């Protein structure tokens, strides 16, 4: 059985919207929730403004985590887009997977992508695709 991650439908739509609104750079952000389901999205600015990599500036990252905490949410994932190419973890994505217990979502902004939203577990250099279970809030 493939492990899965539960995500509210609106969150998936927000990730897609963010990626499509910034089609030339990797968009990025954090995902949070409670009761084992992602219920909140925290879009961030790609401090590198790059088409091939992303970084959330430390100060913004701190503010997002503070906001999550104040809203009583658990950090559950990170998302970013791959404007060109497959939405699977790149070697850099794997190398910089600093949150081994969170899900990594990779979004394709291409409307024709067969699976525009994919999620992965990345731990100690090992990548496992997660099944995304869409839930209602």
Nearest to 98 by CA among 119, 62, 125, 116: 125
Q: What are the residue numbers of the active site?
A: 26
3-state secondary structure 44-99: ECCCCCCCCCCCCCHHHHHHHHHHHHHCCCEEEEEEEECCCCCCCCCHHHHHCCCC
Structure-block tokens of residue 126: 């090992």
- Eight-class DSSP state of 9: H
């Amino acid at each position: 059985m493939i492990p899965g991650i539960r995500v509210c439908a609106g969150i998936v739509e927000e990730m897609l919207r963010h990626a499509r609104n910034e089609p030339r750079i990797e968009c990025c952000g954090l995902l949070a929730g409670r009761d084992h389901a992602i219920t909140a999205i925290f879009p961030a600015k790609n401090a590198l403004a790059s088409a091939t990599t992303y970084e959330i500036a430390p100060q913004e990252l701190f503010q997002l985590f503070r906001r999550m905490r104040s809203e009583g949410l658990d950090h559950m994932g990170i998302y970013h887009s791959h404007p060109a190419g497959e939405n699977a973890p790149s070697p850099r994505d794997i190398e910089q997977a600093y949150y081994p217990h969170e899900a990594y979502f990779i979004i394709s902004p291409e409307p024709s992508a067969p699976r525009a939203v994919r999620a992965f577990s990345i731990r100690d250099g090992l990548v496992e695709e997660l099944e995304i279970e869409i839930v209602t809030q």
